Each structure stands twice: as structure tokens, then as C-alpha cells.
Amino acid sequence: MQIRDPAELTAIVNVGDDVELHGLHISPDLDTITYTVAGAIDPERGWGLAGETWHAMEALARFPLARSWFNLGDRDLATHLYRTDRLRAGATLSEVTAEIAAAWGLGCHLLPVSDDTVRTMVTVPDDGEIGFQEYFVQRHHDVTVTAVRFDGADTARPGPTVLRSLADAERVVIAPSNPIVSIDPVLAVPGVREAVEARRADVVAVSPIIAGAALKGPADRLLRELGHESSVVGIARIYAPIAATLVIDEADADKAGKVEAEGVRCVVAPTIMRSPAEAAALGQIVLGQ
Amino acid sequence: MQIRDPAELTAIVNVGDDVELHGLHISPDLDTITYTVAGAIDPERGWGLAGETWHAMEALARFPLARSWFNLGDRDLATHLYRTDRLRAGATLSEVTAEIAAAWGLGCHLLPVSDDTVRTMVTVPDDGEIGFQEYFVQRHHDVTVTAVRFDGADTARPGPTVLRSLADAERVVIAPSNPIVSIDPVLAVPGVREAVEARRADVVAVSPIIAGAALKGPADRLLRELGHESSVVGIARIYAPIAATLVIDEADADKAGKVEAEGVRCVVAPTIMRSPAEAAALGQIVLGQ
């Protein structure tokens, strides 16, 4: 299988990371994908725009009570201003997301998993339950997590074309993202897990854990803190009900047998994506399954 | 009379120009005064910050449906982000305004005339009733106005210290601002006109009309379109019920008699403020009455 036209590619994206700050609706996961596919992302930071300026943030620091822990670049702000304005005017998040993707010239489809509000809430010892960005950005995910909850997920509806996309896809890929706070809030929207399950034979997951650790972010720590095993075997255990195939990194080749014992077919491949070329190569492997 | 300490000066400011754009609460009159008193205003434009950058606005232009007609500089954006965040957190506009003024090191007091929503609405031939900024900025106030209304004014309450400030002031000054869309929305908040009237003997107004014309903005045109006379005599007629004294420019010295015939004492003085020094000189004249 090969993607000949970007329009054949649809990304169903987590909105549990979304946050309202300064009155703006910020969708970090949607924006990171948009900027990445557009080739506009800052490659060092891995978020926000390359060549960004920070004049608004610097000016915000003048105000002692400002919530300035969430960095918003000047050009990135335009995305949030636009999204917020359109949402206030009655557009859905799906509609605005499509507009933003078109404006950036993305050929692929970007679907927020839901147009309803889903918020990843994280329980930490000292502060109780806090929002995801308060955990991830404000506390640099440097605290123990005792629980994760997806506020609003119970009553959220999948975006208008989410279930159809899953049903019609030739291949469904679970990206090497954080299973607890990035993939699970997608699956938590009623109907989505079932729709993925229904395609299990065509679902390929890529392990975010390599040699027991996450390349970046707190996936390894979160897995351990919430009772999972931070290994490709632990990942296999989590995804076995919804994915027939798990791609693990070459560094974990010796665990292929244990992965398959969890009930998934195991594919060993180079999974570290340091460049678009390496990402494309992994994409070919995933589609080739 | 002289102001020895900036803390002796209180400005009661119009909020009818305020606008919600992109989810942000923008208070152009409050900000223009803040930036002006702070010495940070762009002297050419007369609004916004000197040395400003426009990266967010430039990036907003990428989106075809963006409401990009209202220019927001990158550093200016910080003020709106902060104000909006604090309002969402439950602070009143008076409180946020005091915080912003303190952060900019203003010594004087800035009071929004009301913490409630008052919106100046303007009726224009083709579009019916539109918001003030849609008239002023989007249409460059280059349309005929058939009516002006202050939405919300009926039920708005004066800010917590507005009436006391008017009662306690040694002198009340009506700045040479647009009487129809800048001064009237202040007076329209129930209790404010009465509070000014009660101090009539100590109220000094400065005419915004010089030789029949406004120095900038549409005051002259609006006066004519709404049935007033665009002259110092027309201004005297408008302010006579609430101001004992009207300061007119030297260019209108020949109309002093007609002004006094309207029932106000007339003071002739240089009223064009091209520099802080000229503004200070006019301030001394006004306080000296």
C-alpha cells in the first residue's frame, strides 16, 4: 500500500490537550500536526513555528498576575485568534481545523476527534486534579501522576467524519504517541474505540516506548505510575484489543516473542524519526503491513 | 489649582468603544490613555505602542475568513490577553484596568465608567446598526450615521469609585473628545450625567471642534449628521447643562460671545496639543479656571 495523494491521509487528532488561555482556544495537538505537515514547525522545540518571535509573551511578563507559563509565539497566536474567532461565530472545531489546514496548504485531512469539549485532567499529589497543560507545561510533567480522566468524554460525540474515516480506511495507524494522555483521550470518545476495534485486523500501532523509555515526554513514567509496564510488551498489552500489529524499534528486537505472546503480530523496524525521510520510511513500513 | 502628584488625577473612561474580537476583550480608550500617559504610545498613529511589531496580524492574513481589519500589535496583544484572562477569572474591568495601569507605572487613576457592558452602536444606511469599531475602524468612519445608541447603558452601573471621584474632584474636565461617541457613552451610564451636573460650577469642557472642524476623527461630521452645529457654539449648546465653562481655541475667539450666549463662561486658549508640553500648558489653563 502506498499514499499517492496526501488527500488519502486522514489524521484523527486528540483534543484533550486543548486549553482556554487568555480567552483563546488553543489546540496544541492540532497545531503541532498542522505546522509539522506544513514544514513550518520549529524542529528544535518540536512545537510552534520556526523563526517565531515572542513579543506578545515578553510584553505579557509586565503583568505580575499574567499566566505566562504557556508560551505563545506571535505568529502562532494568529492561529489561536482565528480559531477562537471562528468558534465564537458558531463554526465547529472540525470546520475551523479544515480552514486552518487549507490555509496552510495541507493536502491531508485533519479531524479533531470531537467537536465537543474533552479535557484531559491529571491528578497530582499536591494540587489534586489539574488540566493537562498545567501538568505538562506549567509543571514540566515533572510530578507524580496518580490518575488521568477525560472530562466531557462520556457525552462527547465523534466529529462528523471520524467514524466514517475509520470504517473506510485501508489502514488505521496508531502513532507512536503517549498511550495514556494522547491516544486514550481519542479512544475515550464514545464510538471511537469500537470503530478502531472493528478494524483491528488493519490497525497497526507503533510503539512510543523504545528500550523501556519514551523518546520524549512522560509516557514511560506515566505508564509505570499508572500500573503499566514501560516496555514494548506493556504497549502490546495496551493495544492488543484494538491493533493486530505492533511495530517496535530494532532496539527491542529481542522482545518480539514476548510482544507476540500478548496477541499481536510484531514487526521490528527503525522507528526513530529524526527527519522527514526517516518518518516517510517508517510510514512505508507501516503501510506495508 | 495645580496637580502636584499624579495620584490626584483620575480619568473616567469610555468603554462604549470596547470590542470582543478573536475572543479577546479589547478596550481601545483605556489602552490609548494608558499608553499615552506611560509615554509608550506611537505618536504618529495616535494608538498602539511605539516600536510595535505586527507578526500576529501578518500571520492572521493567511486565513481568508479572518477579521483582520482591527490591527493588533504583538506587544499590544499582551494587554488584551491579560485583560481577557483576568476578566475570565472573575476580576472586574475596574480591577484589571488598575492592574494594567500599575504595571505600566501610571501614577494617575484610570476608571472605566462602568464594569458592565456598554456598547456604542451606530446606524449606517447600508448595514443597519453596527458596532462602533465596525464603523470607526472597518469603515474608516467614512459613512453617514443616522443614529447612535449605547447598548446596555440603561442597566449599567457606574464603576465602584466613579461617582465618588466626580463628587470629590476639585475640578471636573470634559476632554476635547468626540461628544457623540466618546463623551456621551460615559454620561449615558445612569448616575454619571447627574453626578457631573451636580458639579456643574466646577466642570470645564474643552471644545473638540476648532474652526468648525475636528482635529481628527469624525466629530464634526457626526455632529452635523445628528442635528447639531459643528462649531464651538454647537459644543456650548451640548455641554451647557453640565459644564459652567467651555474652553475654545484661539481660532474661534470671535465666537466667544455666541458661546457665552449659550449659558457657559467662555475661555479662549491654545487648545491644540502637539506635544506633552502643549498638553501640560492646556492642563494648567483648564485647572486654573
Q: How far apart are CA A125 and CA A136, in angstroms?
A: 15
- The pLDDT mean for chain A works out to 96
- Over residues B163-201, the pLDDT tens digits come to 999 999 999 999 999 999 999 999 999 999 999 999 999
B23 and A81 within 8 Å at the Cβ level: the answer is: yes
- The pLDDT mean for chain B works out to 96
Q: Is the pLDDT of residue A2 over 80?
A: no
Pairing mode of beta strands B245-249, B203-206: parallel
- Over residues B210-260, the pLDDT tens digits come to 999 998 899 999 999 999 999 999 999 999 999 999 999 999 999 999 999
Q: Kindly state the DSSP code that residue A281 receives in the 8-state scheme.
A: H
Q: Which of B76, B95, B67 is nearest to B28 (CA)?
A: B76
Going across the sheet that includes B119-124, the strands are B128-131, B119-124, B147-151
Q: Which of B233, B248, B135, B240 is nearest to B182 (CA)?
A: B135
Q: How far is CA B213 from CA A18, B206, B235, in A?
A: 51, 14, 12
Average of pLDDT values for B51-66? 97
Instruction: Provide the pLDDT for residue A4.
Output: 80
- Over residues A57-85, the pLDDT tens digits come to 999 999 999 998 999 999 999 999 999 99
- Over residues A134-180, the pLDDT tens digits come to 999 999 999 999 999 999 999 999 999 999 999 999 999 999 999 99
A56 and B74 within 8 Å at the Cβ level: the answer is: yes
Average of pLDDT values for B23-39? 96
- Contact A97/A108 with Cβ under 8 angstroms? no
Closest residue in chain B to residue A101, using alpha carbons only: B63
Instruction: Provide the pLDDT for residue A1.
Output: 74
**In chain B, pLDDT over 70 holds for what percent of residues?**
100
Average of pLDDT values for B106-112? 96
- Over residues B124-137, the pLDDT tens digits come to 988 999 999 999 99
What structural domains and CATH numbers belong to chain A? 18-104 (1.10.8.240), 171-287 (3.40.50.10680)
CA angle centred on B110, ends B109 and B112, rounded to 5°? 145
A99 and B65 within 8 Å at the Cβ level: the answer is: yes
Burial A85-107 (b: 16+ CB within 10 A, else e): bbbeeebbbbbbbbbbbebbebe
- Over residues B71-97, the pLDDT tens digits come to 999 999 999 999 999 999 999 999 999
Instruction: Provide the pLDDT for residue B222.
Output: 96
For residue A201, the number of C-alpha atoms closer than 13 Å in the C-beta half-sphere is 2
φ and ψ of A109, to 5 deg: -100, 135
Question: Where residue B4 falls among pLDDT bands split at 50, 70, 90?
Answer: confident
Write the CB contacts of A40 (distance below 8 Å, at least 6 apart in sequence). A49, A50, A104
Pairing mode of beta strands A209-210, A172-174: unpaired
Instruction: Provide the pLDDT for residue A14.
Output: 98
Residue B261: all three cell numbers together: 450666549
Residues of chain B that touch chain A, judged by Cβ-Cβ distance less than 8 Å: 20-25, 53, 55-60, 62-67, 74-82, 84-88, 99-100, 103-104
Give the ipTM of the model, two decimals please: 0.92
B23 and A24 within 8 Å at the Cβ level: the answer is: yes
| B88 contact residues in A (CB cutoff 8 A) | 20, 23
Which of B63, B68, B69, B104 to probe the A interface (max A CBs under 10 A)?
B63
Q: How far apart are CA B46 and CA B35, in angstroms?
A: 10
| B60 contact residues in A (CB cutoff 8 A) | 78, 81-82
Q: Is the pLDDT of residue A216 over 90?
A: no
Q: Is the pLDDT of residue B3 over 90?
A: no
Instruction: Provide the pLDDT for residue A24.
Output: 97
**In chain A, pLDDT over 70 holds for what percent of residues?**
100
Instruction: Provide the pLDDT for residue A225.
Output: 96
Instruction: Provide the pLDDT for residue B2.
Output: 77
Selecting from B66, B77, B79 the residue whose C-beta is nearest the C-beta of A82 gives: B66
- Over residues A255-283, the pLDDT tens digits come to 999 999 999 999 999 999 998 899 999 99
| B99 contact residues in A (CB cutoff 8 A) | 63-65
Average of pLDDT values for A184-198? 98
Instruction: Provide the pLDDT for residue B13.
Output: 98
A74 and B56 within 8 Å at the Cβ level: the answer is: yes
Instruction: Provide the pLDDT for residue B1.
Output: 74
Q: Is the pLDDT of residue A53 over 80?
A: yes
| A93 contact residues in B (CB cutoff 8 A) | none
- Contact A79/A31 with Cβ under 8 angstroms? yes
| B21 contact residues in A (CB cutoff 8 A) | 85
pTM: 0.93
Q: Which residue has the cell 492572521?
A: B60
Average of pLDDT values for A218-231? 96
